[in-house]
Amino acid sequence: MVDWQANALLVDSVRVTIVTNMQNKQLPNVHLRKEWDLRVRTWFNQPGRKLRRRNSRIAKAAKIAPRPIELLRPAVRCPTVKYNCKVRAGRGFTLEELKAAGISAKYAATVGIAVDYRRRNRSEESLALNTQRLKEYLSKLIVLPRNAKKRTAED
């Protein structure tokens, strides 16, 4: 007899058990009914969290009232041939775009303009578009003095 045949004969009952479990049959039904919520991640708090997030966004907007909630971001094209027809909001304006609009990077960060030091302008069209966005934002921007006593009647 060959070794594997001898082993098969010695552990014949074990081998039969393993083979029956390895066949493509239905798994035995496990009756885990007690305390099922401890074994499962439930999302019953999802609607409440949604409401809490919404209320906190509204409260934040009211707290910083005249200021915008988010930073001004550039219009950029998505990468790859499939999506490059789509224009989306980018991470921040390039230093070249800020320079064309006459803004320093430090000043831009203080008046709500996002700056991305790594991004580069690869086309004149995007440079002109984002420079126009910056100039339009600056024309509408009203900078109030930090000290309330220094404010004039027009502020």
Q: What is the model's pLDDT at position 6? A: 46
**This prediction's pTM:** 0.65
Residue 46: alpha-carbon gap to chain centroid:
18
Q: How does pLDDT run along the chain (155 residues), one tens digit per residue? A: 444 444 444 455 554 444 445 678 787 787 778 888 788 888 899 999 999 999 999 999 999 888 888 999 999 999 999 999 999 999 999 999 999 999 999 999 999 999 999 999 999 999 999 999 999 999 999 888 878 777 777 66
Distance (Å, whole) CA 134 – CA 72: 8
DSSP string, 19-57: HHHHSS-PPPPP---TTHHHHS---TTHHHHHHHHHHHH
Determine the pLDDT at residue 36: 80
Tokens of 127: 């440079």
What is the pLDDT at residue 7? 45
| pLDDT score at 21 | 54
Q: What's residue 46's pLDDT?
A: 96
Q: How many angstroms separate the CA atoms of 142 and 112, rounded?
A: 12
